[in-house]
Every structure is written in structure tokens, then in C-alpha cells.
Chains A and B, each alone.
Chain A
Amino acid sequence: MEIIGFIIDNLHIIGARTIEHISIVFLAVGIAIATAVPIGIAITQSKSTADTILYLASMMITVPSIALFGLMIPLLSPIGHGIGYVPAVVAVILYSQLPIIRNTYTAITNVDPALREAAKGMGMSTWQRLRQVEIPLAIPVIMAGVRTAVVMNIGVTAIAAYIGAGGLGTFISRGISQSDPRQLVTGALAVSLLAIAADLFLALVQRLLTSRGIQGEVTP
């Protein structure tokens, strides 16, 4: 009861924190899509490059977020952003690489070779083939990667409150330091709900981006 009262009293702050949180995750994942999708496509050209890149991206994801934030303080301090918004965005970009690169790579390599051959044999250039056939067919799997990245990084961003990035993690960190269960629970609840809402929203985007001709098919 106490908690519900707290939430109602602090709705506008929760709203502001939520927007901060979303802005970090969506900006970072947006940038990550712009880098990871082209990388995922490019590495389909060479198995060994693909293995190396995927290995590096997996290593990246094993670094605990708190350690990553710590590492970035000396790295980003020279440009005046050792803590705060920028390192949070950078961390999310890095963590998003693996799910998006891996899914893009898998989806493109899984395109039926017969379709690739038909496209080539009918006179499509490599670029036309990508744009008209391979990417549209890969969209559901790429989007699944984006959803994984977003959900995972909503959690990562909560930790970023410790480096002053703001967001819903602020409630959690204060809840811990002030031994205030109301803030702690509010933060945890809001982060979970945001993750669920973002995933549902992206599922809708995925549907809109997927051709009706391949909808309803199983995606890994």
C-alpha cells in the first residue's frame, strides 16, 4: 500500500525517468542497428571473418556491465564524458552488437540458396538482391535480434544509474543506498514493465516490416 502511494505521489518523476531510460536504449540500439546489420551482412561473405567477429561480439557481452562502465571512465574522460549519458549509450551499443550481428548473419546465410540463384540468374545485382530478396526475408530474424538487444539493454541501462546516466535505475540505486524499499520496488517494477512494453511494441513493428508472404512462419 505504501508503495502504491509512493508511485502515485511520484508519477511525474517516474515518467521523466522512463523517458530518460527509453532515450538511452532507443538511441543506442538505433545506432547499433546501423552498425550491426551491415556488419552481419558483410560477414556472410567469409566464414572465417564471421567466426572472428561473432567471437569478439560474444566476448563483449560477457563483460559485466558494471565493469564496462568502470572501464569507460578513463577512456571517455578525455572527451569530458567519463560518466553520465554518453558511456551508457556506448555500453548499450556494444552490448547490442552480438544479438543483432548474429541474427542478421544467420538470417542472411539461411536464405534459400535457390532464391539467391533465381535472383542472380534473373539479372539482379548484389545490392538489388539484398534489398529485394535477402533483407526482406531476413527481417523477422533481424528484428528478433533487435528485440533481444532492447530487452537486455533496458536492464543494462538500469545499472547505468550508478554512473549518473539517469533513468529508472536511479530509483533502484537510491532505494539501495537509502534502504528504501518503496523506491527499490518502484524502480524494479518500472524496468520490468518497460521491458515488456518495449518488446510488445517491437513485435508490432516486426509485423509491420514483415511481408505478408512470409508472415506466420517460424523464426529462430
Chain B
Amino acid sequence: MIRLENLTKHYGPAHDPLIAVDNVSLDLPTGEICVLLGPSGCGKTTTMKMINRLIQPTGGKVFINGKDTSTVDPIELRRSIGYVIQQIGLFPNKTIEENICVVPDLLGWDRRKSRDRAKELLELVGLQPDLFLKRYPKELSGGQQQRVGVLRALAADPPVMLMDEPFGAIDPINREVIQEEFLKMQREIRKTIIFVSHDLDEAVKMADKIAIFRSGKLEQYAAPDDLLARPANSFIEDFLGSDRALKRLRLVSVGDAMETDFITVLETDSVEHARARIRSSRSAAAFVLDAEGAPRSVLSEQVAEACSGTVGDHAEPVKSTVPITGDLRQAVSVMFAHDMPLLPCIDEAGRLAGVMSYRSIVHHLGHGGKA
């Protein structure tokens, strides 16, 4: 757990200081990611560097797992905290292996153990050890370097990581990939992470908690969905942008927002039967499933009202589906792309598990999130 207590940093003369960080207090539970977010110069980096004492606080305290960090030798402290800088900062004179092993070597690990660790880490992000261990940083692409930068911070398995815009130096597409990769890794390694960003989308995606700064002050500290649903003041509202409701879409899983009281009918059923079932429910359509339970075709309310005969004669094939593990942004995108006001949501086995409609989305967002 990381706790900041009235953390303050002044620069310049004592009588007229520039207040870079102003009385910041926050608690971050073990295993969570806190993103420090805010406009340029608001004190994010300064706050972060006071945690590993690259910057000496003017006032206040930092506790890591209950221990006051000012009582620890700074060099020892830094070796116990993973550190990723924005410029990646791989040492160009060292091989990838030596770069990853920097902290283990400083800690005096057995050579064999540290080299095995480097291999294991490279495999974790899909970089073949045989190919990469002996290469130098300049022989890697930007994305590969960025990955190695993160691995280097993870090498000695520190419980706490500080990451200053760790994915800032790469193009947007690669960035998404690395973010996903990192989140996947984080689900297993459960580090406590302070992560600096000035990209709201990145923050929303990565964070368990977002800390919004303005001119050195912590303006709001909340879970991303909370923040987007209930910005504490007009500065934050402006900062989040007028499309903040859309940003929330990514935070809600399809499984949480879909309606599960859908109607299924058989192809051999009459349209009248289907119409009666649709009318007696809140649904706007009835689905026909195949033998495995996957949605095959759909009979919409309008068609059911207008036609007669069997369902098989009038039902239209299902154009697309969305997995329940997806997020609302994905669902909305499919609904727009295929003009589908009703989108079948399927489970891992491909079976129909629920239905997404514009109404269910609006309803979900209106209620302020997952709770």
C-alpha cells in the first residue's frame, strides 16, 4: 500500500516559493494502479519522484506498506521500487540482458538466477530470448524498447512500480497493444503502481484510481467510472471533456449492461405466436437459436406486427454479435456499423447470453455505473 500524507514540494526562495506540489494526500491499496492525471506542469512527475526520493519533499510523508520512506536509505529504497521513465532510458552500452539485470545485479543476485529471470520476462511479452538477450537497445524497435523498459523495472520483482508516461514515446497503435499487454500482466503480478499520464483515455483504461491534479493540488481522487460520472468541480468537468459519457462506455462490460430477458422462438413457430410473446414482454424482437444456442436469426417487432406465416419465413439473419466480455464502446460501434438496434451478446461458447439495446446503454450510464 502506498500512502501520501500532506506531500508538498516548493521550489525557489522560501519567502516566495513556486509550489509544485501542494499538500497532496492519498491512499493506494496494494495491487492497484493509480494514474496521476492533469495538465502540463501540474506536479505529476514531482509527486511521483518524491516517492522514490529522486526529489526531496519540502513537507509531508510517503509510506510504503506502512513504512515511512524517509527512514530508508534512498538507494535501497529505489532498488525496491520499479521505475520506468518516459524516455525509456535503456542503457545503450548494455545488452538487453544486462539492461534487464541492472537491479538484480545491484542487489547481488546470483548471476544464473538473474539471467534466467531476464529470459523469463522476455518470453512474457513475446520477445524471443535467443533473439533479443544479446542485442543492444539500438537494435530494437521503439515498441520493443518500451517493453524492455517495463521488464527492466519488473526484473527484481518490486512490489511497487513508478511509471512516468511509460508508453508516451510510441505510436498510438502500438501503444494500445502495449497497454493491453501490460494490463494482462498486471492481472497476474498485482503490483501497486503509480502511473503518470496526461492522456485521459489511457488513464481511464489503466487506472483503478485516477488522481486529478491542478497547479500542484489534488482535485479529485476516484475510480475512473466515478470520476466520469461525478466530476467534483467544473475544472475537472472541462478537463474530462464534453464527451466524458462516451469515455465511460469503455469502462462498462457488455455482460454488465445487457438485458438478459430476451425472447427465443423456433423457426417453425407462427409469426402470431412470436408477436404475442414480443408484445407481452419489454423486448423489441425475438431470436431464433441454432442447436448450440447461438443466435441465428432475428424477428423484429415491426416485422412480427406486419407479417404472417412462420418465423422461419420472415426472420432475418443475425448480422453480428458482441462477446459479453467486450465493453460498451465495442458494442455501440458494432450497433452503429451494422445498423442493429438490438445486438445479441454471446458467451464464450457462442451461446446467446443477452441483448444490448440503445435503451439498456442509456439506462446503465444513467445509473452511474457498475454499482
B277 within 8 A of A: no
Q: Cβ of A125: which chain B residues have Cβ within 8 Å of it?
A: 75
Determine whether the beta carbon of B136 is less than 8 Å from that of A124.
no
A114 within 8 A of B: yes
B106 within 8 A of A: yes
Determine whether the beta carbon of B94 is less than 8 Å from that of A123.
no
Bound-state CA distance A132–B153 (Å) is 17
Bound-state CA distance A213–B98 (Å) is 12
Residue of B92, B136, B137 near A137 (CB, 8 A) is: B92
Interface centre among B80, B89, B138, B152 (most CB of A within 10 A): B89
Bound-state CA distance A118–B136 (Å) is 17
Distance (Å) between the CB of B246 and the closest chain A CB?
35
B93 within 8 A of A: yes
Q: Cβ of B87: which chain A residues have Cβ within 8 Å of it?
A: 112, 114
Distance (Å) between the CB of B195 and the closest chain A CB?
15
Q: Cβ of A115: which chain B residues have Cβ within 8 Å of it?
A: 89, 91-92
A117 within 8 A of B: yes
Q: Would you give 28 A-B contacts (Cβ < 8 Å), ordered by A?
A: A112-B89, A114-B85, A114-B89, A115-B92, A117-B54, A117-B85, A117-B89, A118-B83, A118-B89, A118-B90, A120-B78, A121-B52, A121-B83, A121-B162, A122-B78, A122-B83, A122-B152, A123-B77, A123-B103, A123-B106, A124-B102, A124-B106, A132-B94, A137-B92, A211-B92, A211-B94, A212-B136, A213-B95
Q: Cβ of B364: which chain A residues have Cβ within 8 Å of it?
A: none
Tally of A-B Cβ pairs under 8 angstroms: 73
16 other A-B residue contacts (CB within 8 Å) besides A122-B102, A137-B93: A115-B91, A118-B83, A119-B91, A120-B78, A121-B83, A122-B78, A122-B79, A123-B76, A123-B78, A123-B79, A123-B80, A124-B75, A124-B106, A133-B93, A137-B92, A213-B94
Determine whether the beta carbon of B103 is less than 8 Å from that of A122.
yes
Determine whether the beta carbon of B54 is less than 8 Å from that of A121.
yes
A189 within 8 A of B: no
Distance (Å) between the CB of B170 and the closest chain A CB?
16
Distance (Å) between the CB of B196 and the closest chain A CB?
13
Number of interface residues of A (CB under 8 A): 21
Residue of B76, B88, B106, B138 near A128 (CB, 8 A) is: B106
Distance (Å) between the CB of B364 and the closest chain A CB?
42
Chain B residues engaging chain A, CB cutoff 8 angstroms: 49, 52, 54, 75-80, 83, 85-95, 102-103, 106, 136-138, 152-153, 162
Bound-state CA distance A119–B83 (Å) is 10
A136 within 8 A of B: yes
Q: Cβ of B76: which chain A residues have Cβ within 8 Å of it?
A: 123
A214 within 8 A of B: yes
Q: Cβ of B83: which chain A residues have Cβ within 8 Å of it?
A: 118, 121-122
Bound-state CA distance A124–B79 (Å) is 8
Distance (Å) between the CB of B86 and the closest chain A CB?
8
Which residue on A lies nearest to B76, using beta carbons? A123
Interface centre among B49, B80, B83, B88 (most CB of A within 10 A): B83
Determine whether the beta carbon of B91 is less than 8 Å from that of A120.
no
Known: A114-B85, A122-B79, A123-B79. A132 touches B91 (CB 8 A): yes
Bound-state CA distance A122–B93 (Å) is 16
In the A-B complex, the 4 residue pairs with the smallest Cβ-Cβ separation, listed nearest first, are A213-B136, A118-B89, A123-B79, A211-B93
Residue of A120, A123, A128, A214 near B93 (CB, 8 A) is: A214
Determine whether the beta carbon of B75 is less than 8 Å from that of A213.
no
Q: Cβ of A211: which chain B residues have Cβ within 8 Å of it?
A: 92-94, 136
Distance (Å) between the CB of B95 and the closest chain A CB?
7
Distance (Å) between the CB of A112 and the closest chain B CB?
8
Bound-state CA distance A42–B75 (Å) is 21
Which residue on A lies nearest to B105, using beta carbons? A132
Q: Cβ of A132: which chain B residues have Cβ within 8 Å of it?
A: 91, 94, 102
Bound-state CA distance A20–B200 (Å) is 71
Bound-state CA distance A124–B95 (Å) is 18
Residue of A117, A123, A136 near B75 (CB, 8 A) is: A123
Q: Cβ of A212: which chain B residues have Cβ within 8 Å of it?
A: 136
Q: Cβ of B52: which chain A residues have Cβ within 8 Å of it?
A: 121
Distance (Å) between the CB of A207 and the closest chain B CB?
14
Distance (Å) between the CB of A8 and the closest chain B CB?
48
Against B, the Cβ 8 Å flags (1 = close, 0 = not) of A201-220 are: 00000000001111000000
Q: Cβ of B106: which chain A residues have Cβ within 8 Å of it?
A: 122-124, 128
Bound-state CA distance A214–B95 (Å) is 11
Distance (Å) between the CB of A196 and the closest chain B CB?
29
Bound-state CA distance A125–B107 (Å) is 12
Q: Give chain A interface residues in 127-164, CB to chain B under 8 Å.
A: 128, 132-133, 136-137
Distance (Å) between the CB of B46 and the closest chain A CB?
13
Q: Cβ of A214: which chain B residues have Cβ within 8 Å of it?
A: 92-93, 136, 138
Q: Cβ of A122: which chain B residues have Cβ within 8 Å of it?
A: 78-79, 83, 102-103, 106, 152-153
Residue of A121, A123, A124, A133 near B85 (CB, 8 A) is: A121
